Structure 1
Amino acid sequence: MKLSARNQIAGTIKTVKPGATTTHVTIEISADVTITSSITNEAAEELALKPGMKAFAVVKASDVMVGV
């Protein structure tokens, strides 16, 4: 599959935590960098996500906001 998003960050799935409607997926990019994504439970099931799988964090956004 090809994507138009330029920000594709390779990593390894560390955790998959299903909730009532969404699943939180943590992808380890390096020893001290992780990215967590919230996706629908249906998407997580279709992708058959499991810890240890190779995966990509794909970021497609026009804005990134930071607050302190």
Structure 2
Amino acid sequence: MAESKTEWRKSSASAQSGDCVEVAMAGQVRVRNSNFPGQEVVAVFPRAWIAFIEFVKDVDVDAYRPD
């Protein structure tokens, strides 16, 4: 699927820091860095994306930040 035809969604919280990923549903879930939209895209199966979202909801993600 061409990038120009892909509908990317960005978190409403991204305006605060500008650091965000964008997500698109195109058969698979596609993820890209909103600061560099022309670079590589990560594609995962929907079940993997759902598992990731559930993990983020249940975990203190700040504990995983590098020092």
Q: Which has the higher contact order (CA 8 A, sep 6+)?
A: 1
User: Relative to total residues, which structure has the larger strand share, 1 or 2?
Assistant: 1
User: Relative to total residues, which structure has the larger helix share, 1 or 2?
Assistant: 2
Per the normalisation by structure 1, the TM-score is 0.36
